[in-house]
Amino acid sequence: MGVGFGQVLAVSNLYLIFFLRDVSAELRCCKSTQHLLQNAYECVWVSVRPRLQTAKKIDDQGESDLSTVSKEDGFVVFDHVQKSYDGEQLVVKDLNLYIAKGEFLTMLGPSGSGKTTCLMMLAGFETATHGDILLGGKPINNIPPHKRGIGMVFQNYALFPHMTVGENLSFPLEVRKQGKSEREENVKRALDMVQMGDFINRRPAQLSGGQQQRIALARSLVFEPDLVLMDEPLGALDKQLREHMQYEIKHLHERLGVTVVYVTHDQSEALTMSDRVAVFDDGIIQQLAPPDDLYERPENAFVAQFIGENNTLKATVTGIKDGIASVDYGRGTKGEALAVNCGDVGSTTTLSIRPERVEIGKKSGPNAVDANVLELIYLGDHIRCRMEVLGDDQFVVKVPNSHGHKHLVVGETTKVSWSSEDCRALDA
Amino acid sequence: MTDTTGPLVAADGTPLKRKLAQAMFRSRARAFGLVFPLVAFVIAAFIIPIVALLWQSVHDPRFANLMPLTTIELAKWDAVSPPTEAMAAAVVADMIVAKKNKTIGRVATRVNREVSGARSLFTKSGRSAATLEAPFMEALIAKDKKWENIKIWEGMKIASKVYNPGYLASALDMRYTADGSIVRQEEDRRIHIMLFARTMEISLIVTIACFVLGYPIAYLLSTLTTRTSNLLLILVLLPFWTSLLVRTTAWIAMLQAQGVMNDLFVVFGIATDTDRFSLIYNKTGTLIAMTHILLPFMILPLYSVMKTIPVSYVRAAKSMGATNWTAFWRVYFPQSVPGIGAGALLVFILAIGYYITPALVGGQDGQMISNIIDFHMRKSLNWNLAAALGLVLLVFVMFLFWLYDRLVGIDNMKLG
């Protein structure tokens, strides 16, 4: 309120200027729209070019098993890190995370889960309330951001609007006091790396979103950091371009061997690019695993629900034998499930079944139950079928559109079944 | 298929352009109707009075209207040869009419501006004009020796020009002479250029002071949370809600010899009780008070620009290895330039026409050009000169504005 009134007063003194500015802004707006159209379709995948000179490629044979990265050989280590902004709530609760050199690790989670805070602590823009962050074995808690030597890509790209593309890339080299010829060489090489060599004299505002994204990528890599942080870098792009850039970033990572810590809330992005994904929720890493493990072997109900599509059923454990839990759905229906993270006999559990693992029509087996078809959605390669199963009317089954698949009708009652291994008994 | 060579037509065959104009007419008419009251008000209350007043700086028909015969005779005169009998006869004839219409005083005032002492001459001669007989030149000189002086006749010739560059020349410390040339004013009568220069100087210092004081405040405001920054903004805006006069008077209480500041200086031993600083009724007083009053005009545009600079720019610079200073100077500062431009231009243009504050706290050497304009408007009643001074000021501000547009670009400026 205070702002508005004061501004009105200030502005009223020169409303003529204001008018002139508006007119010229409108003119500029027309120009930039034109430009956008020109550049809309420039993103074409070009074959991979020679990599950066000093970059090291990961040796395929020598790639270590990432599930056993220990605190000692971690390149980036979060050691019992906690973070609170207000002294009342912990945004990050006792984080222990070891990232190997050359790894592509994604922090995935809903907003407010603490993933960006972790990234900002690593970059040095936030300080940890408790615990140590180590980079290459050395604690970096007290090192200011500009001495950490970490490359970073921001969500809005943060390309300096008053500098050309070349000046933007030259900036980190200038502050490192590189010579002019060396700088020019490095800038050119980094631009070629993202196929943007022809755009060196453009201003960021003259580039499309995808082009700006590449420049931001090149700028974070031009000073050859060992670690690059990316904070939802593809969030502002449209779907097609986003998928394209995912591959491009993945290929760059493979070629350069740089360690990447990537933050996103988009699970397909995480699954596409990462060596390992850390699923964050409520300030805690819920699961840290390679993408396939994450989808196929979720360890708790949150991960199962967050990654991919999932059917959940509530049940009570009645017995556990050889890793298989017998469960009671109530109303006299019984079944079997893989005992992953359920409690002892008598405790309730959440069962997770992927929609594509449900079979239709089979009447026998340990997990065969009645289902009532509620809705059918034709999606080309498969048909999405919403059913009522065991009192849950959000149970989804994907029926592949293969030759001779079963044709369902809304209102029809049928049998659905799944194998015990595909039904994971998780925490309640 | 439509004919690609001819103009496009709508479905009913009328040209598309006309159809579009018809379709747009209603909304255009409504838009015009909405802004019409403002346009009318601006024209009536702003543009017409300003143009009319500025017109006076070159247009002065008073003498020509009141002394028509003299004006004709003076136009024939070359301002070098001695005044003729015909001119004297015209003067006497015009004076008789002027005396009867009681307008002789206005004629006297007008000529007096060119030649001091002419007022009494005209009022005196006017009283006895009806009794004079030919030859009129001798008769006039017999009444008053001053009619012998060619300067009186030169002054009348200058005053008789309807389109008169004399006022503009005077505003620039020059003089329009009877033979039509423009020469520099005598050394001891040059005052306006000096006043313009002082006005520039004060405005410039105030602008720089506002920038130096305002930039950190605006930065602080832009980095705080909305709650806190709104609270602080109220403090910044508080002066806006207080009368300009009250604020200026408060500065008098603060800065005068027995005022708060000087008392504090004495307490802390910076000044002695007998030798206090003179902080007011001089240029220092004008500078302090104007800086304080104009500070919000610098802070607000700066703040509104800084608020739009995302924190990620500076972070990006730091992540690339820039120190705090480099990140600020190379990345943050250039992006705040539109705000600096807007704020500086706003403060400078407001300062250049400042009037009340210098009038109250300026003393002798803190007076600005607007104070002399006021003097001519209210005291000497030389509106023509006041208009000429205003015109010079306006042209100068326009020039600055143009210069700013060329150097920085108007579209680069953000006010809100």
Q: How many domains does chain A divide into?
A: 2
Which residues on A lie below 8 Å from B240 (Cβ)? Answer: 5-6, 9
Which amino acid type is present at position A54? T
Same domain for B232 and B181: no
Residue B413 region by backbone torsions, left for phi larger than 0, else alpha for psi between -120 and 50, else beta: beta
Tens digits of per-residue pLDDT, A364-407? 778 888 899 999 999 988 899 999 998 888 999 998 888 877 78
Same domain for B406 and B299: yes
Please name the residue of chain A whose CA is at the shortest distance from the CA of residue B298. Answer: A10
- Which of A288, A239, A236, A229 lies closest to A259, judged by CA? A229
pLDDT-based confidence at B129, cuts 50/70/90? confident
Q: Is 60 exceeded by the pLDDT of residue A2? A: no
Q: Is 80 exceeded by the pLDDT of residue B395? A: yes
pLDDT-based confidence at A67, cuts 50/70/90? low
Tens digits of per-residue pLDDT, A311-332? 999 899 998 888 888 888 887 7
Tens digits of per-residue pLDDT, A288-315? 999 999 998 998 899 999 998 899 998 9
Same domain for B200 and B169: no
The pLDDT value given to residue B347: 94
The pLDDT value given to residue B276: 86
User: Is B321–A150 a contact, with Cβ atoms under 8 angstroms apart?
Assistant: no
> What are A313's two structure tokens?
């059923």
pLDDT-based confidence at A49, cuts 50/70/90? very low
Same domain for B325 and B184: no
- Residue B44 in domain: no
Same domain for A286 and A328: no
Same domain for B141 and B109: yes
Instruction: Identify the residue whose tokens are 């247009």.
Output: B59
DSSP A99: E
Please name the residue of chain B whose CA is at the shortest distance from the CA of residue A11. Answer: B415
Phi first, then psi: what are they for A231, rounded to 5°? -105, 95
Query: Strand pairing partners for A383?
Result: A378, A399
Tens digits of per-residue pLDDT, B250-306? 999 999 888 899 999 999 988 888 888 888 899 999 999 999 999 999 999 999 999
List the single best residue of B221, B232, B320, B345 to mutate versus A (max A Cβ within 10 A).
Answer: B320
State the CB neighbour count (10 A cutoff) for residue A110. 13
Q: Which of residues 350-369 of B touch A (CB under 8 A)?
A: 350
- Residue A239 in domain: yes
Q: What is the residue-averaged pLDDT of chain A?
A: 82
CATH number, domain at A382? Answer: 2.40.50.140
The pLDDT value given to residue A170: 95
Q: Which domain holds residue A115?
A: 66-149+225-296
Query: Strand pairing partners for A400?
Result: A382
The pLDDT value given to residue B336: 93
Long-range CB pairs of A189-195 (<8 Å, 24+ gap) are: A189/A52, A189/A53, A190/A52, A190/A218, A190/A219, A190/A221, A190/A222, A191/A165, A191/A166, A191/A215, A191/A218, A192/A49, A193/A49, A193/A51, A193/A52, A193/A218, A193/A221, A193/A252, A194/A218, A194/A248, A194/A252, A195/A46, A195/A49
State the CB neighbour count (10 A cutoff) for residue A268. 15
- Which of A327, A323, A335 lies closest to A297, judged by CA? A323
- Residue B9 in domain: no
Which amino acid type is present at position B82? P
Nearest to A151 among B319, B330, B416 (CB): B319
Q: Is 50 exceeded by the pLDDT of residue A34? A: no
Tens digits of per-residue pLDDT, B207-237? 999 999 999 999 999 999 889 999 998 988 8
Alpha carbons within 13 angstroms on the beta-carbon side of residue A388 total 8
The pLDDT value given to residue A41: 33
Query: Strand pairing partners for A399?
Result: A383
- Residue A105 in domain: yes
Query: Strand pairing partners for A426?
Result: A350
Tens digits of per-residue pLDDT, B83-119? 889 999 999 999 999 989 999 989 999 999 888 888 8
The pLDDT value given to residue B373: 93
- Residue A383 in domain: yes
For B127, B199, B243, B263, B282, the CA distances from B279, given in Å and listed in that order, are 53, 19, 22, 12, 7
pLDDT-based confidence at A15, cuts 50/70/90? very low
E strand or H helix at A321: strand A311-321
Which residues on A lie below 8 Å from B297 (Cβ)? Answer: 10, 13
DSSP B81: S
Domain-terminating residue out of A269, A296, A323: A296
Q: How many domains does chain B divide into?
A: 2
The pLDDT value given to residue A68: 67
Q: Which domain holds residue B275?
A: 192-412
Average the pLDDT over B12-35 and give the result: 88
Q: Using a CB–CB cutoff of 8 Å, tell me whether B329 touches chain A.
A: no
